[in-house]
Amino acid sequence: MQLPILSLLILLPLAGVVVLIFMNREDDKRLKLFTLAVMVAEFLLSLPLWFRFDDANPGMQFVERYNWLPQYGISYFVGVDGFSILLVMLTTFLGPMAVLATWEDIKDRVKEFMICLLALSSGMIGVFVALDLFLFYVFWEVMLIPMYLLIGIWGNPARRVYAAIKFFLYTMFGSLLMLVAILVLYFYGGKVTGTYTFDLLKLYGLNIPFKMQFWMFLAFGLAFAIKVPMFPFHTWLPDAHTEAPTVGSVILAAVLLKMGTYGFLRFNMPLFPQAALYFVPLFSILAIIGIIYGALVSMVQKDLKRLVAFSSVSHLGFVMLGLFTYNVQGIQGGIIQMINHGLSTGALFFCVGCLYERRHTRMIADFGGIATVMPVFATIFMIVTLSSIGLPGLNGFIGEFLILLGTFKENKIYAALAGTGVIFAACYMLWMFQRAIFGEVDKEENRQLTDLSAREIAVFVPILLFIVWIGVYPNTFLNKTKATTEHFVALMEKAKATQVTSLSHVFKGEAQ
């Protein structure tokens, strides 16, 4: 019998939570070490997933299915395919680093913090592997709570409650519409086929009328667009990022945002293909606005974390643009860019965290000349910055290139507009880097800063390894997503045969 890896990945952190509850809250060190051990175990456990994953199989693998509430067609149904494997691996990979990064940062209520962290890991894995809509929704909502607590309790005292509530209500608002849409889908499926089920794979096959697809796409889409976040639903993000503790920002940027982009790929597009085709212009244009707008606003930020937060809006715009091309390059680029953003932006937040821990400020103007006092840090920060601005040879380039290549095939103007984001990215990142890292050490407080500790270097090295790996040999990762992407692109091609280009007759029909 095959080991139920996915379930173990979900359950292991929860088991860790149970153990943590009974541990002595005074012994911070042991609490941290234990959590670290759980995270490392989680990562090791996920390795067979990577190595035993069949690249050639476009469908679900490592599938587990148990009846949960059979009378309502609800089951515990999980699996991974090319769309989710990399995201699951990213989540488990970042786990140990997240714990290491909190070592000095979190001194207050360590026990609760570690519980939140583990609960979050479990929830994130759950979201990426759930194949039952009901199960998915449970994970999706459950995940909000630990994140809300991370920001609200361990955040920056001044505005953490505002940011946490904004985060919670905003995402909750989107989710509720999605819940309604899930129920509609459930009842519709039941009505048409006679069996009421939340099984995603079965629902894929439903031939939903366009009018219904239209609204359902928007209902799901809003929830995901908020999470991504797409312009103009992004304003919760800078607040949440700025107020969250370092590790909160890292997880938020690296994994949580990907739930939005993943949601489009897993739910919106295959469930409502006609609507997905219909909405290409709207979402592409919003994505492009996000790319340029995020970059421009990022350029004038004074706070490092806000700068990185707005750069996320820009980068995620690239991902969305890629997904909505419905061609292999665009989608593979979009997926790899999700991972790239996770690595680069995660690392950027770690970098900001390193500075914050030393100086207790995130204002660019408070730094300057850091390269002189922290040369190792400056080098690492530079590599991460270059990865973020898409320098060839590092990871970011692969994603941006494939996305723009795919976009260019579908619409040259979109590609030309989005491409300007590459120029702006160089502007805002290098300008920030110049002000914070280059120059003379002109502030007394900065003169005594210590360079990175071994622990901090240990956080960065694995990330840097993958930043280079993806840049130099991306096929390792592209191969995993290939079969599923090609299968999906073929489905979308088929859907194009019955594409709806004008709404007028669809909705006129309804009025009569």
Partner 1 sequence: MHFIPYVWLIPVFPLIGFVINGLLGKSLSKGKVGTIGTVAVGLSFALTVAVFLEYLRLPAAAKPVEVVVYNWLASGSFSVNVAFLVDPLSLVMLLVVSGVSTLIHLYSTGYMHDDPGFPRFFAYLNLFVCFMLILVGANNFLMMFVGWEGVGLCSYLLIGYWYEKKSASDAGKKAFVVNRVGDYGFLLGMFVIFWTFGTLNFREVFSLAAQYPVGSGIITAATLLLFVGATGKSAQIPLYTWLPDAMEGPTPVSALIHAATMVTAGVYMVARCSALYVLAPTSLAVVAVIGCATAIFAASMGTCQFDIKRILAYSTVSQLGYMFLACGVGAFVSGIFHLMTHAFFKALLFLGAGSISHALAGELDIRLMGNLRHKIPITYKTFLIATLAIAGIFPFAGFFSKDEILMYALINGNVWLWLTATVAACITAFYMFRAVYMVFFGESRVPHHVEHHIHESPPSMTIPLMALAFLSVVGGWINFPIIPGAQKFHDFLSPAIAPLGHEAHLAISAELGLMAFSMAVAAVGIYIAYKFYLVSPEIPGWLAEKFPVIYDVVYHKYYVDEIYDYLIVEPIKVGSTLLWTEVDDKVVDGTVNGSAGVVAWLSEHLRRLETGFVQNYAMAIVLGVTLVVGYLLG
Q: Does 96 bind partner 1 (CB under 8 A)?
A: no
- 120 Cβ contact list (under 8 Å, min separation 6): 143, 146, 147, 150, 251
Q: Least distance from C-beta 211 to partner 1, angstroms?
A: 8
* CA proximity to 45, closest of 13, 78, 81, 79: 13
Contact (CB, 8 A) for 312 and 237: yes
Window 402 to 431, contacts with partner 1 (CB under 8 A): 402, 404-405, 408-409, 412, 415-416, 419-420, 422-423, 426-427, 430-431
Q: Least distance from C-beta 203 to partner 1, angstroms?
A: 15
DSSP assignments along 217-279, one per residue = HHHHHHHHHHHTTPTTS-THHHHHHHHS-HHHHHHIIIIIHHHHHHHIIIIIHHHSHHHHHHT
478 bridge partner residues: none
Q: Which of 296, 373, 483, 500 binds partner 1 (CB under 8 A)?
A: 296
Q: Least distance from C-beta 213 to partner 1, angstroms?
A: 10
- Binding window for partner 1 (CB under 8 A); candidates: 16-24, 193-201, 267-275, 385-393: 385-393
Q: Least distance from C-beta 472 to partner 1, angstroms?
A: 8
Q: Which of 74, 178, 222, 328 binds partner 1 (CB under 8 A)?
A: 328
Q: What are phi and psi of 60, to 5 degrees?
A: -80, 140
Q: Least distance from C-beta 1 to partner 1, angstroms?
A: 36
Residue 53 or 408: the one with the smaller Cβ distance to partner 1 is: 408
Distances (CA, A) of 428 to 76, 296, 346, 421: 45, 8, 18, 10
Q: Which of 440, 454, 502, 509 binds partner 1 (CB under 8 A)?
A: 440
Q: Which of 319, 463, 478, 495 binds partner 1 (CB under 8 A)?
A: 478
Q: What are phi and psi of 318, to 5 degrees?
A: -60, -45
Token pair listed for 98: 């997240």
Q: Does 453 bind partner 1 (CB under 8 A)?
A: no
Strand ranges inside 281-337, DSSP E: none
Residue 114 or 429: the one with the smaller Cβ distance to partner 1 is: 429
Window 216 to 245, contacts with partner 1 (CB under 8 A): 216, 231-232, 234-236
Q: How far is the C-alpha of 20 from the C-alpha of 441, rounded, in Å? A: 44
* CA proximity to 349, closest of 437, 263, 425, 463: 463
Q: Which of 59, 70, 205, 393 binds partner 1 (CB under 8 A)?
A: 393
Q: Least distance from C-beta 423 to partner 1, angstroms?
A: 5
> Is omega for the bond preceding 232 within 30 degrees of 0, making it cis?
yes
Q: Which of 474, 480, 488, 495 binds partner 1 (CB under 8 A)?
A: 474
Q: Which of 109, 439, 469, 491 binds partner 1 (CB under 8 A)?
A: 439
130 bridge partner residues: 78
- Binding window for partner 1 (CB under 8 A); candidates: 87-95, 181-189, 250-258, 451-459: 181-189
Binding residue count for partner 1, defined by CB under 8 A: 67
* CA proximity to 327, closest of 407, 219, 394: 407
Helix (DSSP H) and strand (DSSP E) numbers for the chain: 24, 2
Binding interface with partner 1 (CB under 8 A): 166, 169-170, 180, 183-184, 187-188, 191, 212, 215-216, 231-232, 234-236, 293, 296-297, 299-301, 327-329, 332-333, 369, 371-372, 386, 391-393, 397-398, 401-402, 404-405, 408-409, 412, 415-416, 419-420, 422-423, 426-427, 430-431, 434, 437-440, 472-475, 478, 482, 486, 489
